[in-house]
Chain A
């Protein structure tokens, strides 16, 4: 490989919230994450892009330990990720996650989806939790659907409910694992708009996506991954107009110029 060393352009993190250091992971013989070092500052929006199979989803999922790692360390707000059990559950409640396939609780109404974590994990009173849930549902524009079941909603609506469900826990950081990849084209924007607003409000975000428009407009930093490595990190304007690594040039030439 020609570009082993990582090209860094972005400013170093002042107030680190998520720190990955020398993280390695294998799926059998496949080395999906190779010596990943990544620091995400409080309030920063980091967009992770790269060809499929590059390990970007896996990277996102290791941050709340939905994927285990083989070596290296991950800390969130100064605390290392626990292995299992209650400690891990407590830490996960501070890390919001939005999945490609929404994963709303199918047997619960929209409102219950957003209140469940508050009541069971945060031990809030039901009334207080429901008030907060309705506020959040209004904020993402699905307030009118509160009493429906997930299957009765469109994909875009479901994904916005999933964002509200994650926000209900008052997370320190939000992880988005290809949040628009399973959506019909006309529904992508309604989800991206919610994410744009969230970014403007100062939420710390890690977004794995193929939406280059979102990366350009909302990201503070673009992380480009290929073959399990971070190949390039740069501000979005720099990355898109002047990529440094051959791998990134090749990737961008394939997706940007039709």
Chain B
């Protein structure tokens, strides 16, 4: 009668599904977010416009609509053959990248202008100045909000259950439908799974914060 031991394989698959979805979306969001932040502070006006359009569009669109847009929109544009997992990674990654971009940009704004001026005055290019001098110092202030954004991302992955992806949300739905189990117990175990994931993320970010704080 124990819902966890009876359905351990299903729980494990759902748990791993959520972990994979979170991890891959996080990587996409961090890469895109950093790139778009670089666009937004670049000296090229076209890139700055693209960057603010990206953020405005993705930050203000409900995530469910974004899921619909990629699952229905991409095949309509001729991009067929993506399975639902990768479509979910794309929706979650792009959505979160807009927030990451703004967290990084607020970090960049805390770095004194003189730091970039000094880098430029010794002949460093824009990308060297950003990569060597500005971003490492911006990271100190950007890391805590990025941690929060990735925790939000982990919980946002539950939306993917509505789009045919195996993860914790879909496990919960299946078990509820199967009946015979106490619904509160199902919720409890699902919640514990999410807590394991989110606590891991906050632990990793606390480590990162401490590491960066020492290197001053």
Chain A contacts to B: CB under 8 angstroms: 64, 66, 84-86, 89-97, 99, 101, 103-107, 116-117, 120-121, 149, 151, 162, 165-166, 169
The 8 closest A-B pairs by CB, nearest first: A93-B123, A117-B122, A103-B114, A103-B118, A97-B121, A121-B123, A92-B123, A89-B125
Chain B contacts to A: CB under 8 angstroms: 43, 112, 114-115, 117-125, 128, 132-133, 136-137, 215-216
B115 vs chain A, min Cβ distance (A): 6
A-B contacts besides A66-B121, A90-B123, A117-B123, 20 pairs, CB < 8 Å: A66-B120, A84-B43, A85-B125, A89-B123, A92-B120, A92-B122, A92-B123, A94-B123, A99-B117, A101-B112, A101-B114, A103-B112, A106-B216, A107-B136, A117-B124, A120-B124, A120-B132, A165-B122, A166-B122, A169-B122
Smallest CB gap from A93: residue in B: B123
Known contacts A92-B120, A169-B122: does B137 contact A107 (CB below 8 Å)?
yes
Q: Is B114's CB under 8 angstroms from A64's CB?
A: no
Q: Is A103's CB under 8 angstroms from B122's CB?
A: no
- Expressed in whole angstroms, the Cα–Cα distance for A117 and B121 within the complex equals 10
Residues of B within 8 A of A86 (CB): 125
- Expressed in whole angstroms, the Cα–Cα distance for A101 and B125 within the complex equals 22
Instruction: Describe B's contact surface by its main secondary structure.
Output: helix
Q: Is B118's CB under 8 angstroms from A99's CB?
A: yes
- Expressed in whole angstroms, the Cα–Cα distance for A103 and B117 within the complex equals 8
Q: Is B216's CB under 8 angstroms from A66's CB?
A: no
B91 vs chain A, min Cβ distance (A): 35
Q: Is A92's CB under 8 angstroms from B132's CB?
A: no
Known contacts A120-B132, A149-B216, A151-B216: does B123 contact A103 (CB below 8 Å)?
no
Known contacts A149-B216, A151-B216: does B133 contact A169 (CB below 8 Å)?
no
A21 vs chain B, min Cβ distance (A): 23
- Expressed in whole angstroms, the Cα–Cα distance for A209 and B115 within the complex equals 22
Smallest CB gap from A94: residue in B: B123
Residues of A within 8 A of B128 (CB): 120-121
Residues of B within 8 A of A117 (CB): 122-124
Residues of A within 8 A of B133 (CB): 105
Q: List 5 A-B contacts (CB under 8 A).
A: A94-B123, A103-B112, A103-B114, A121-B123, A165-B118
B139 vs chain A, min Cβ distance (A): 9
Residues of A within 8 A of B121 (CB): 64, 66, 92, 95-97, 166
B113 vs chain A, min Cβ distance (A): 9
Q: Which of B112, B120, B121, B123 has the most CB of A within 10 A?
A: B121
- Expressed in whole angstroms, the Cα–Cα distance for A209 and B43 within the complex equals 31
Smallest CB gap from A105: residue in B: B133
- Expressed in whole angstroms, the Cα–Cα distance for A167 and B43 within the complex equals 28
A61 vs chain B, min Cβ distance (A): 9
Residues of B within 8 A of A101 (CB): 112, 114
Residues of A within 8 A of B123 (CB): 89-94, 117, 121, 169
- Expressed in whole angstroms, the Cα–Cα distance for A96 and B119 within the complex equals 11
Residues of A within 8 A of B115 (CB): 103, 105-106
Q: Is A121's CB under 8 angstroms from B117's CB?
A: no
Residues of A within 8 A of B120 (CB): 66, 89, 92
